[in-house]
Structure 1
Amino acid sequence: MVAAHETTLRELLEGAKQYRVPLYQRTYSWTEPQLDRLWEDIRKLAEERIDDPSLTHFIGSLVLAPSPTHGPSVSEFLVVDGQQRLTTLSILLCAIRDHRAEHEDPDHRDRINQEYLINKYKPAHRLKIVPTQADRPAYEACLDATPQAGGTDRVGAAYRFFKSQLAAVDDPDDPLDIERIENAVISGMALVSVVAQAGDNVYRIFESLNNTGLKLTQADLLRNYLFMRLPNRGEAVYGSLWFPLQEQLTSRELEQLFWLDLVHSNPEVKQTDTYTGQQARLNGLHTEAEIEAEVRRFCRLGTLLRIILHPEEEGDPEVRRRLTRLNAWDTTTVYPLLLHLLDRRQQGTATSEQVAAAMLYVESFFVRRLLAGRATANINRILLRVVTDMRADLPVDEAVRAYLSVGRKYYATDTSVREAVRSIPFYLNGRATQRKLVLQWLEESYGSKEPVASDSLTIEHVMPQSPTTEWRQMLGEDLHGEESFAEVHEALVHTLGNLTLTGYNAELSNSSFLVKRAQLAKSGISLNQEIAAQKRWGRPEIYARADALAERIIAQWPGPTEEAGNRSEVPWDVMNKALAALPAGSWTAYGDVAALIGSHPMPVGVRLASHPAPNAHRVLQAEGTLSPNFRWLDPARNEDPRDMLRAEGVEFDKYGRASQAQRFGVDELAQLAGMPQQDVSGQLLRPRSRRNDLLDDRFVEQLTDLQDAQVVAGTLAVIEAWARMGGRPLYGSGGETSCFLMARGKDHELGNIWPATIYPSGKFEIVFQHMSIRTPFDDIALREEFRQRLNELPSVNIAAAKLGLRPGFPLDVLVDVKAREALIEHLAWFFRQAVHSGA
């Protein structure tokens, strides 16, 4: 027998209780996708509870069993199922506690600890949640807020994720926003607590809970429900309506259709609740004729969804063009609006011209947000609410534009576009496919009669990411005062003014501007011909091109209505999100932060000196020294920030300079800020060379062009040694042909894994980020051992704080024979761990 009842986190955690995760459970395994879903649920619930404080959100069941050591003073339970949710919510409470103690009142620390996290007067049962032994040190670091809190393990990553999200949503003008988040967590997260009886075999319960078979899709469930309601007309309705609908849409697309239908009236409904939502709606119908009418309506909407998914079937050329572009942008949350627009046209309340104009405003909204560095901020919530929130008294195109123009939707004004194109690191924002689309659409705006095959094009940095001496000299001519080359280069290199499209990315690479200009002049792409017309390529030229592109963007993509104002915003929330996720034992520079948000080091310093920001003490000058102007915002604080950094694990030399190995640059900050990263596993497409050996012609050609003979020989020796030990080199399909050292392929029972990626431009990249979700290197101890092994190599110093990223070292390390042999030995160790882990 088991007892089940609905409960909240408050009820579970209040009082003298302890929940222990049994040994047979897996370690804590939630990663960012699960954390992000939970956070979005909590954030939405907190907003909705403003109007209705009784609202709750069901997050699943928690199966408990009385602990065999159950004592009289503390209620002890084993967590049979649901430990991931329970542990995650506890980590979130730690993050809320620390945020509120730091930004509101220190008393929040003891309050949250005593109510929800510890049994203060029960030292033998101090922790209310006791994770598995492997997770306990990391969890206790978060619980006790030690300098090690927020490490690179998964518990630490979850803590940093929530700290970052709290920093991003904390509105200085709203003193109650974080309190609402806390109340949503402790009172709004509803669970069903299922408590087994003493003597039940808890392992059998756990095994049965985790041994379910294939489930019916929500589309299957809805179909079964509908035809259960059609006892007499079922066969005829199925043949004439349902079967044709099922033929033109896949099962996944059918499920999407039913969800889109619900979103029209309830933008908060989740796809996972599609069946229950439709069932609740259909329960209000009573006759077979009413049910049949609903199936007929689904068929009509299904035909429209088919056009959205296959724009080539649309008859109007301008609507077809806009649908094709929005399809290429690949944001499915725009589908409710598109379905609504096509439905309005079919019902005769909108014309094709109005529908096409409305789609152009949406496209412009996407492009301008991307340019302003706001590609993903609340995008799903904004799009899902268009249909319900836009004005009904305006033509549909004007209504869409008006809705997108008001509130904090980041529909960038013309002024913001002009500033952003100059300063925002476009190459680090949004998805790679979306960045390429913007450049491709810009090229189309020139109206060239000679079509360009876009599939063969990649984004090229005109001033390269790894500049040669010649490039350093050219940019050096543009420096003013105390500006450093590194800061100016980082501020310019990823901006739109320095980017173009080319089919010769690898051939151009780090070449001088003289070489690049000659190659670009031969191109049929108008964007390249403009660059080729320049005599040099430094800051003035990049700014001039940025200004010209901004005006073209403004002409091509209409901005918001005048109600949006002529505002200009620096994305300080993006800075706060990155800094909140900066791990203990690391630091970053003012210039790195400035390059991330499209600002300059001085305004960043002013901002950090005058506004609260997470981990502001981890922002140093480029050489790793404390800024002379650094001041704690709290006048009562007078400790040396360097002492705090040392306690967190940052190493300083005798001159007071932090280790450059522990510095997070702009690319790494972008990862911390949640800017989408390209999935390199999708690049593993190139077959083996036609020479029928282990080296790829194109990779060797690029390596030979870009590196000296000793580096080439050392790099190829490592690849050949990898193949001899049983590994397989696989080559990328991008403009720069990278080499992946594959230990396991996709067909392996544990999935593919590789330790490193070699770039001909000069980097040996260690893919800790990839390893962290692959057996056996999802165990942080193995990744740490690999890091320590690599740090034995001369000139290699990878910081522990980067165990969740993709750090690396230059290929010239491989010139030294002893270093090369040591690396091969460490790679062989990795290979043995990877291949024999499943044995």
Structure 2
Amino acid sequence: MDTNAMTLRELFGPDQRLVVPVFQRPYVWSEDRNWRPLWEDVTALVQRRLEGEEVHPHFLGAVVLDQMPTPTGSMPARQVIDGQQRLTTLQVLLAAVRDVARRLHLHDKYVRALTKLTVNDDDMSDDLDAAYKVWPTNLDRPAFRTVMNGPQPAAPGTAAAGLGASVIEQAYGFFTARTGEWAQDLAGEHTADELFDALVRVLRDKFELIVIDLKPQDNAQVIFESLNDRGTPLQASDLVKNLVFQKAEEQSLPVESLYEDVWQRLETPDWRQEVRQGRLKRPRLDVFLTHYLTSELGEEVLTPELFLTFRRYVANAQTPLTALMQHLNGQADAYRRLTDEQQPATAEGRFLHTVGVLDANTVVPILLWLTTRFDESDRAEAIAALNSYLVRRTVSRLTTKNYNRLFLELLKELKAKDDPAVVSDFLLRQDTDSGRWPTDHDMHTVLRTQPLYRHLTRARLRLILTELEEALYTSKTERLVHNGTLTIEHLLPQAWEAHWPLPTIGGDGVEARERRQTLLHSLGNLTLLTRSLNPAVSNGPWQHKRADILLHSALSLNRSLPEQWNEDAISARAAHLAQAFCHRWQHPAGPAPASTSAALSLPASAAVPPHATVHAPAHPSSIRPAAAGIGIPSARRDVARHIHEAFAQYADGSALTVAQIAAVATSQYQAGEISPGAVAARLKANTVDGVETVRDSTPLTARKTS
């Protein structure tokens, strides 16, 4: 057999037919497992090209082809022994991009280039089906013919016009929709010609297949059975292991001791266990290696490129192989601590739990880098900033699709400046919807008006409520240990009609009903109860429900529930919890609370006035985010005086975070000219008259004294 690495241009460019035997199964690939990961790989490579980065070949797997006898002078043909799903998907993808380029009236060269990869051009052939590069099994041929002939694509996000429910047609609809959405999303950054030029070049020349051509003496059936029915396929981590010990042998290193001291602990069942990454599951060791390489190289590591990237990393490493493997081992220990399901009840431990609940895997390389370079106190401000950023954007339902790119940029800046204070400064500079950090004002609006019960998963909403419970504690409050059995309860029940009549406002009650439905699923109407108490009080009248809750619940969320519960009470409680939220997940551009969390309590006996309104804290006009690209000045100036002047306009007892202090313009520094890290260092030294640090504050906060 002959084995060659071939780009899509080399495989599909020549006139030839790749025929799938009738005995093979029909097309079965799906969106979650196959189409979406392939499209994400395509757009990631195109993004690298658009940013001027080097684009390495992307491996798509292997296909096995067998010679087919053809009459003299007719088009060459090969039988697809293995890889028909992959080849069919690639043809559908190329056709979809071709048709979107045609629909957008782009330069004809893009359509011509893709047509050469999807259509054979043989004027001497009388077989109409000979035009197709790939010819699937009998069942799939009508749908494949329809797709490859190019029906008019529908608008992005809808099924393609005229297409039915076959899997091939669904694949075509997926790729046309994603291509159109991708072009629309990047229209503000690049022209359509720039986008499709990069897309077509990447598809033609940067995706590779290993093509195995069988010879007449090769038994195609035996090879097919060996590829599909025997053994377990190698994982990327298996290839990494083979590479490491092959290199060790070449360098005459003690292979057995290297295995026992370094690699053996990475072969436990725990590392082989599959963990979820978005919609897919991968072995934990493969996931770790991806995060490790991203943290080390400061670049995105695509799943199919994991082994190739690791091989390049080893080849370019400036340290001996033994030291490199010991470093990897230490990072593996750090990764297991970061992803342990049982996190300690510290601020950082709760954040790591939050990362798991939010499925925020793109931030893990940054956490790896921070935790292996700085102790917990030095990285606390950076961790708090990431925590606030992720939670605020999640609750605000802002997109996560830019996170890969955003956190890679942050990682590169962290590695360049070697300062955890970079995190807060970087996140504050993001000013688009795909990256901005919601302010206190934004959060008050969302938390008081949006139906969070419908917008967030139960796990995420339970996390928010549990953390708010923590934010409501004071120095006089007993700390409760939550064992995960608390459930979410509507105080005004979802089935409210029996015991909760609408207030009389006049008219037909439409306005009152709309207001109630608007507030029903908002934060102000939600709490946590035990699994046994929840159904017991669920739909009863408020007097009985409140009495049972106050009798059995010890949560601060529930101890201050008023005697009357209506729309005004819900609005007031939402504002109260929004204040607690902004205290728990602080934003550097908004003022830190001037006192402890005791100021956040809502007395149980307080009557809520009709249509009560509680406003978000005002923002001091002199405090603004640090300007992009401004670093610590070369000339040494008086940091203590800067801190003292930053507090000059505030009353005694006012508190500011280190980021807020750095963002104030004084006689010593321009706004944002000094880093929060430099401010924190001076505050920790306790040498600024009239200013004291707030004990155990995260991020580090200082208070003005008399």
Alignment of 1:723-734 (within 5 A): none
8 Å CA contact 1:142, 1:149 repeated in 2: no
Partner of residue 413, structure 1:
439
2:529 pairs with one of 498, 502, 527: 502
How far residue 499 of structure 1 moved from its aligned partner, in angstroms, is 3.5
Match of 2:585 in 1: 557
Distance 1:511 1:26 in 2: 57
Summarize the Cα distance change of 1:430–1:145 in structure 2 as closer, same or farther, 3 Å threshold: farther
- 2 CA distance for matches of 1:548 and 1:133? 65
Indicate the residue corresponding to 1:767 in structure 2: none
Aligned residue pair count: 548
Matched, 1:145 2:172: no
Q: Is the 8 A contact 2:98 2:115 kept in 1?
A: no
Q: CA deviation at 1:131?
A: 3.1
Identify which of 130, 138, 147 aligns with 1:133: 138
Q: CA deviation at 1:60?
A: 1.8
Q: Does 1:395 align with 2:419?
A: yes
Equivalent positions of 1:24-423 (< 5 A) are 24-31=23-30, 32-50=32-50, 51=52, 55-68=56-69, 72=73, 74-104=75-105, 114-118=115-119, 123-143=128-148, 144-145=150-151, 149=162, 151-169=164-182, 170-171=184-185, 172-173=187-188, 174-176=190-192, 178-179=195-196, 180-197=198-215, 201-214=219-232, 215=234, 217-218=237-238, 220-221=241-242, 224-225=245-246, 227-229=248-250, 231=252, 233-235=254-256, 237=258, 250=271, 257-263=288-294, 264-270=296-302, 273-283=305-315, 290-310=320-340, 318-326=347-355, 329=358, 331-345=360-374, 351-374=375-398, 376-390=400-414, 392-393=416-417, 395-396=419-420, 398-407=421-430, 408-422=434-448
Change (3 A) 1:242 1:377: closer
1:74-93 deviation line (CA, Å, top 9, x unaligned): 44433322222222233333
**Backbone CA RMSD of aligned residues:** 4.4
Kept in 2: contact 1:63–1:195 (CA 8 A)? yes
Letter in 2 for 1:377: K
Counterpart for residue 437 of structure 1: 463
- Aligned CA distance change for structure 1 residues 225 and 440 (closer, same or farther; 3 Å): farther
Distance 1:313 1:138, change over 3 A: closer
Per the TM alignment, residue 519 of structure 1 is displaced from its structure 2 partner at its CA by 5.0
Q: Deviations over 1:673-703 (max 9, x none)?
A: xxxxxxxxxxxxxxxxxxxxxxxxxxxxxxx
User: Does the CA contact (< 8 Å) of 1:2 and 1:196 recur in 2?
Assistant: yes
Structural mapping, 1:795-814, within 5 Å: none
- Show CA shifts across 1:107-155 (max 9, x none): 7997588444455876343544433333445445544437665655533
In 2, Cα distance between the equivalents of 1:182 and 1:543? 53
Q: Residue 789 of structure 1 corresponds to which residue in structure 2? A: none
Shift of 1:254: 5.4
User: Per-residue deviation at 1:505?
Assistant: 4.6
Residues 764-775 of structure 1 correspond to what in structure 2 (within 5 A)?
none
| Aligned-partner Cα distance in 2 for 1:11–1:78 | 17
Does the Cα contact within 8 Å between 1:14 and 1:116 map onto a contact in 2?
yes
Mapped contact 1:401–1:561 kept (Cα < 8 A): no
Q: Are the equivalent residues in 2 in contact too, given 1:518–1:532 (CA < 8 A)?
A: no
8 Å Cα contact 1:222/1:278 also seen in 2? no
1:629-652 per-position Cα deviation (integer Å, ceiling 9, x unaligned): xxxxxxxxxxxxxxxxxxxxxxxx
* 1:390 partner SS: helix
Amino acid at match of 1:41: D
Amino acid aligned to 1:362? L
**Partner Cα separation in structure 2 for residue 126 and residue 547 of structure 1:** 66
Larger radius of gyration: 2
**Cα deviations across residues 205-250 of structure 1 (Å, max 9, x unaligned)?**
3222213413474364355336425646445555555567778984
Identity level (%) = 27
Provide the rounded CA distance (Å) in 1 between the counterparts of 2:423 and 2:413.
Answer: 9
> Does structure 1 conserve the Cα–Cα contact (< 8 Å) formed by 2:524 and 2:577?
yes
CA contact (8 A) 1:520 1:532 kept: no
Question: Equivalent residue of 2:60, what SS?
Answer: strand
Q: 1:312 to 1:89 in 2, by over 3 A?
A: closer
C-alpha distance 454-429 of structure 1, shift in aligned 2 (>3 A)? farther
Taking the aligned partners of 1:65 and 1:100, their CA distance within structure 2 comes to 34
Cα 1:54/1:383, change in 2 over 3 Å: closer
> Counterpart of 1:455 in structure 2: which amino acid?
G
- Quick one: structure 1 residues 442 and 136, their matched pair in 2 at CA, closer, same or farther if it must change by over 3 Å? farther
Are residues 1:22 and 2:21 paired? yes
Letter matched to residue 428 of structure 2: S
TM-score, structure 2 normalization: 0.65
Q: Do the aligned partners of residues 58 and 401 (structure 1) sit closer, same or farther apart at CA in structure 2, a change above 3 Å counting?
A: same
Q: Distance in 2 between matches of 1:475 and 1:11?
A: 73
Residue 525 (1) aligns with residue 549 (2): no
Question: Per-residue deviation at 1:557?
Answer: 1.0
Structure 2, unaligned stretches of length 5 or more?
153-159, 273-282, 591-706
Q: What secondary structure sits across from 1:344 in the alignment?
A: coil
TM-score (norm 1): 0.56
- How far does residue 43 in structure 1 lie from its aligned partner after superposition? 0.8
